[in-house]
């Protein structure tokens, strides 16, 4: 069968099954098994699919996945977010829009401890939103800053999305982590500047607290103790990776143990919290593993059947600038992000896009950071942005789903601005990885 005919059939079936609502893992896995059976002579194709999936899932680097997921789950129950928000409240509440800016700061710090976007979104939705509403903050800016701030969890390392991309694209996960640091900080700063300007021009959006309610300097200084444990955990985990003392997998183990220590210090290490943390970690890890099993099966079909090679040759023969192709890829990511979860998008696109990126002479490391920024937009892009549904689960009844959709419009634009900056200035993502100790 000609490669172009097989490509039409393969991707036509993929679109058809996804449109019916079939989960990404079952869609990819089912197509991989069916086409593998047809193309490679029955049982031999099934055996090849099984052994390939098993080989991928038993790679040592993937041990980092359940460890970082467990780390994030434990931190959600540790109470650190409460202390961090209390600190931000005491220092920034006297400023117009200070609570919203403080929320972004806390989300960024939490992102550096946990690699899952929804953890910060759900936690800050419970803690920060009632506080901002009580202070008469505009509901759109309050909800928007939490949804967008929570999305920083997949860009600022550690990042579960980066681990999966690194495995698929065969890129150093440690370098991917370091590549996300500067863009993550830049994006958090962009959010803060936007909130500050909006609230300076329209003080009613985020009023400062009255002078009579402002904390004394002693209270402010005492509140700074809240950042001690998070900073130690961040420095130990990321510092170990940056200096080459540990691999990302080993650092994940240290981070998981450190999260337990932080929870114990906070006197939250009890059976109820640990049961919830283990249940959350197992549930998320199982979801990721099933998606990877399906993706490996699908990727093998693309690679062995010649479809991937045919696509690369076709793109390479186009008489257009490589930058045009790169921009088209980002638009494809953005479109898919409105309907699919980022994990599924990685699995569907990486077997096709990563070889093209290498062929065009672009860095797959840089491309991975661009992809992650784009997936941040996916987390808050209607109609199926995952963070939007998390927010709906924690907001009061007077905040509708349409309010949540409206709240994130400016933040999606700011994320697109950050994406453009990293595209124009690749060293924003590549400089820090280049300085890592080998």
Segment 372-384 mean pLDDT: 85
Q: Does residue 396 surpass a pLDDT of 90?
A: no
Average predicted confidence (pLDDT) for the chain? 84
- In terms of Cβ atoms closer than 10 Å to its own Cβ (0-12, 13-18, 19+), residue 413 is exposed
CA gap 375, 154 in Å, rounded: 8
36 assigned to some structural domain: no
Taken in order 248, 333, 293, 38, the sign of the CA dihedral is negative
Residue 107 domain boundaries: 59-269+306-434
409 assigned to some structural domain: yes
What pLDDT does 47 receive?
A: 76
Nearest of 332, 344, 248 to residue 295 by alpha carbon: 344
Band of residue 362 on the pLDDT scale cut at 50, 70, 90: very high
Q: Does residue 108 surpass a pLDDT of 90?
A: no
69 assigned to some structural domain: yes
Q: Does residue 427 surpass a pLDDT of 80?
A: yes
286 assigned to some structural domain: no
Segment 215-223 mean pLDDT: 82
35-49, 156-170, 350-364: range with lowest mean pLDDT: 35-49
Nearest of 71, 120, 186, 197 to residue 427 by alpha carbon: 186
CA gap 188, 427 in Å, rounded: 18
**What is the number of structural domains in the chain?**
1
360 assigned to some structural domain: yes
Segment 24-51 mean pLDDT: 77
Backbone angles phi, psi at 338, to 5 degrees: -75, -15
**The total number of residues written for the chain in this structure:** 438
165 assigned to some structural domain: yes
416 assigned to some structural domain: yes
What pLDDT does 191 receive?
A: 95
* Confidence (pTM): 0.84
Q: Does residue 189 surpass a pLDDT of 80?
A: yes
pLDDT tens string 203-217: 888 888 877 777 887
């Amino acid at each position: 069968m000609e490669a172009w005919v097989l490509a039409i059939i393969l991707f036509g079936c993929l679109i058809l099954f996804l449109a019916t609502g079939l989960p990404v893992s079952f869609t990819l896995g089912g197509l991989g098994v069916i086409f593998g059976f047809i193309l490679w002579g029955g049982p031999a194709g099934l055996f090849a699919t099984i052994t390939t999936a098993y080989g991928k899932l038993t790679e040592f680097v993937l041990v980092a996945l359940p460890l970082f997921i467990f780390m994030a789950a434990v931190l959600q129950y540790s109470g650190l977010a409460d202390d961090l928000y209390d600190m931000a409240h005491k220092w920034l509440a006297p400023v117009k829009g200070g609570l919203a800016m403080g929320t972004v700061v806390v989300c960024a710090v939490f992102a550096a401890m946990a690699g899952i976007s929804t953890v910060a979104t759900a936690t800050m939705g419970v803690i920060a939103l009632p506080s901002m509403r009580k202070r008469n903050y505009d509901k759109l800016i309050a909800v928007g800053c939490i949804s967008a701030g929570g999305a920083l969890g997949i860009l600022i390392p550690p990042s579960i999305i980066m681990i999966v991309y690194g495995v698929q694209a065969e890129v150093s996960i440690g370098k991917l982590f370091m590549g996300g640091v500067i863009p993550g900080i830049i994006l958090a700063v962009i959010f803060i500047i936007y909130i500050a300007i909006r609230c300076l021009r329209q003080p009613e959006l985020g009023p400062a607290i009255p002078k009579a309610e402002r904390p004394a300097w002693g209270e402010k200084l005492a509140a700074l103790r809240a950042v001690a444990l998070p900073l130690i955990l961040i420095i130990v985990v990321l510092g170990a990776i940056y200096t080459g003392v540990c691999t990302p997998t080993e650092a994940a183990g240290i981070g998981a143990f450190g999260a337990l220590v932080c929870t114990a210090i906070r006197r939250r290490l009890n059976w109820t919290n640990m049961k919830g943390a283990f249940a959350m970690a197992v549930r998320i890890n199982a979801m990721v593993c099933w998606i990877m099993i399906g993706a490996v099966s699908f990727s093998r079909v693309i690679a062995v059947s010649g479809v991937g090679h045919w696509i690369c040759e076709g793109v390479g023969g186009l008489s257009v600038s490589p930058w045009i192709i790169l921009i088209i890829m980002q638009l494809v990511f953005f479109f898919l992000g409105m309907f699919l979860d980022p994990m599924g998008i990685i699995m569907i696109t990486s077997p096709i896009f990563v070889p093209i990126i290498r062929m065009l002479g672009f860095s797959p490391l840089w491309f991975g950071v661009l992809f992650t920024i784009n997936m941040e937009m996916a987390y808050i892009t209607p109609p199926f942005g995952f963070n939007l549904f998390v927010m709906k689960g924690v907001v009061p009844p007077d905040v509708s789903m349409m309010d949540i959709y409206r709240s994130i419009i400016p933040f999606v634009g700011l994320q697109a601005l950050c994406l453009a900056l990293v595209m124009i200035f690749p060293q924003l993502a590549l400089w820090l990885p280049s300085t890592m100790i080998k």
